Amino acid sequence: VLRRIDLIGLYRLNRAQLALGLRALDIMDELKQRDRVIDFGDLEDMACRLMGDQARALSLLFRLEDSLRHLLLDEFQDTNHNQRDILMPFVDEFLAGGGGDGAVRPTVFLVGDLKQSIYAFRGAEPGIFAAMIERLAHDPHASLKLPTNFRSLPAVVDGVGLLFRAEPLASSLPSGEVDDVHQLTARDDGPGEVTVLAPFADDDAADESDGRSGHQRAAFAAARIVRELIDSGATTTDGQGRPRPLVWSDVLVLYRSRTGVSLYEQAFRRAGIPIEPAGRGMLAAGREVQDVLALLRWLVWPEDEVALATVLRSPVVRLPEASFQQLLAARGLFRAGEGGRLRSPGNLWATLRAEAAANTELQPVVALLQAWRADTGFTGVHDLLRRIYREGHLPARYEAAGETQARFNLERLYDLALAPDAAATPTVRRFIELVDLAGRRGGHDEGTAGTAGATGRVRFMTIHGAKGLEAPVVLLVDADRALNDRTTEVRLHPRADATGLVFGAAKAVRVGFEGAAVDADGLQLAAAAARAAAAIEETNLLYVAMTRARDRLFVLGGQGNEKETDDDTEARSALRRLR
């Protein structure tokens, strides 16, 4: 009875969401028709309708007959159902021997790896690739495997093979892929290195006020590993196989979730390691970026006294503490008015201008802020930032106040003003919203700014963002976080082309009552299939991360609460134990 009550509540929730969602889609279509625009989903749908009409598909194939000789599809394991429906008429025609003038038989080349299917959130269905493999199984020459790894040194290749052929990873690989995880190696220019550290536990010896969590200890250990690699003169090879010293840009730090990456970024900065932050979200967390955003907020809204106070005390102005306190006192915070009531304090900007009339220290500050205010609204964000950086000497000031990382972050913020989503709406207010939104999300895109100098910067990226990349040194950090079954969306028939979706299904509804002697219903079976598919994709994600390494691979993580501290004594002792 309780189960049926839960399902009725879930049905009502989905019925209401469907009604609202369909109306929202109608409104979206009306807006797109009004503005005469289409999005990527529209392009995909139109192509599907075109190829789904047999007469139109045959007509298109006939028109393209003389121009197509070869069809090459890379990363085929990430194909979704819509893309398959668009491509399969071409594939079927080519495999049947059509699509050409008869002189040269057209060919199809599909490239993929089921173990690297990690884009289910985009609709990728690895079963499409598996079905194609089965379709070609009758022809022994049609399906080829590449058993040799040309990227990594033997230690990395053998280490990955050893880990994924053992439990618990072996049983979580896609069906039939266990035998393919152990590859041959083509490189013989060194042995390579693989280090898997035991999870760092909380520091129980320290008191609660300055104790270090396992995540913090892992973060400082990661920074120490990289620092010692560079300081020890470790080498890698260039494109021609010649040895050269490792530099910062040879290091790639990968993580599954952005939740705890800030701890690792902080640890690397404290170790003096130049880094390329993970994305806008991590960029927005920097003090120098927050100061510039405060300045921009005040420029578009002069009544924002908190923003102005932040600017005055920041390296943008560097107003001394004593002068700042005198300025606040001049606002008349406790002035008595009529009837003995306290009068409202004066506006900070008005007070600053009034005090500057007799204070030579404040006069250049007021002149600079007035000049920037006069430019706001009449120029794009990029040009405004360029003027602020130049006239305020911001990169040099923040570099003097902190480190070269601050200059790099300001340069990234400057480049971000030219990003498509910012350049299309050149208002200062819109730019502030974009950066603030990324900060609340914790970082949405990957760091794409260029390296600095000959040694570059350590790159921080999600595993998804690093797909297709490689690096001499890879650190898979934050590797001990437990998986959480938080997916509240259930596909009722996970492998079907089109299936019902159930939204808002809490874990109790997906799993059912513990110890209840009842058969699982369709929703529970579908949720169990989704969990199994998620476990396979999580294993694939780990495989993708580890195979990015060319020479050295380090896997580490920790447990506990994320507390911040400046002391890295424990990281040093942990590395001594490692050695």
* Predicted pLDDT of residue 570: 42
pLDDT of amino acid 419: 63
Which residues of the chain are under the pLDDT cut of 70? Answer: 65-66, 98-103, 204-211, 259, 277-282, 333-343, 402-404, 419-426, 437-454, 482-486, 514-518, 560-579
Q: What is the CA angle 221-225-226, rounded to 5? A: 120
* Non-local CB neighbours of 336 within 8 Å, separated by 6+ positions: 342, 343
d(CA 65, CA 327): 78
Query: What residues contact residue 404 under an 8 Å CB cut-off, 6+ apart?
Result: 274, 452
CA 412 to CA 404: how far, in whole Å? 13
Distance CA 531, CA 509 (A): 14
Q: What is the pLDDT of residue 281?
A: 54
Helix (H) or strand (E) holding 55: helix 54-63
Q: Which backbone phi and psi does 475 adopt, to 5 degrees?
A: -115, 115
Q: Cα Rg for the chain, rounded, in angstroms? A: 29
For the stretch 186-219, what's the b/e string if a residue is b when 16 or more beta carbons lie within 10 angstroms of its beta carbon? ebeeeebbbeebebbebbeeeeeeebbbbbbbbb
The pLDDT of residue 572 is 40
List pLDDT tens digits, range 8-60: 999 999 999 999 999 999 999 998 888 888 888 899 889 988 888 888 888 88
